[in-house]
Homo-oligomer: A and B are copies of this chain.
Amino acid sequence: MANKLVLHGLSHSRSLRIVWLLELLGLDYQLIQHQREKTLFAPESLKNIFPLGKAPILQDGELTLAESGAIVDYLIQTYGNGHFMPKKEGVQHYWQYQRWLHYAEASLMPFILMGLVFSKIEQVKQPFFVRPIAKKISQKTHSTFLNPQVQLHLSHINQVLGENKWLMGDEITGADVMLSFPLQAVHLRYDISSFANIQRYLAQIEQDSAYNRAVEKAGKPLNNS
């Protein structure tokens, strides 16, 4: 390979997915792990690579690519030798795969991110008479909006995972790589005991040897996992 792949990652983040995929693909790559600022925002060092300063960013020769979903799609289509994705000729299967690549960040993650922001509000240092109200607002947003949405998504995913070992069938694909992080984040904050297939799936990910090599190199995806 003429150009060594370079992945700019961020500690304890969704970037781990791309490290996992690079390990699944058995590619030679350089991992540059950036550290989060105290604010939990991505650091300035990442803005030198890409204007938004978000991780992950993949560099492959002339190409500097952002967006986890696009990076997963690129790596598999470029280096996968037909593995880790459904064949394009199987239109139905191929487009459901593309749907999952978008789904993870576009439909599932926003609720998880929002839940995190509301929980932060409860923890912020504030006058004693504000704290109970902040807590109540957060709890009400969770109970009336966020929790029902997350339950709806988990039911759907749990049902799909009842049909196959991995999202798209017997073999792991980029769709599983994409869905791993939001489900791990859900697991940290929600009770998933009634979703047996999701539990099995998360355990399956943790048993994957490429996943374990990725964690060894980049650290766990979530701070408290």
Contact = CB atoms under 8 A, between A and B. Distances in A.
Interface of A: 51-54, 62-63, 65-70, 73-74, 91-92, 95-96, 98-99, 101-103, 105-107, 109-110, 113-114, 117, 121, 130, 133-134, 136-137, 141, 145, 152-153, 155-156, 159
14 contacts: A51-B159, A54-B107, A69-B69, A69-B106, A70-B101, A74-B95, A102-B105, A105-B105, A106-B106, A109-B110, A110-B113, A114-B117, A121-B137, A130-B137
Contacts of A63: 91-92, 95
Nearest to A144: B39
A113 B106 CA distance: 11
A62 B102 contact: no
A117 B141 contact: yes
A155 to B, nearest CB: 8
Instruction: Decide if the interface of chain A is mainly helix, strand, loop or mixed.
Output: helix
A114 B114 CA distance: 6
Given A73-B98, A152-B52, A110 B107 contact: no
A98 B117 contact: no
Contact of A134 (B53, B102, B103, B137): B137
B117 A145 contact: yes
Nearest to A112: B110
A96 B178 CA distance: 19
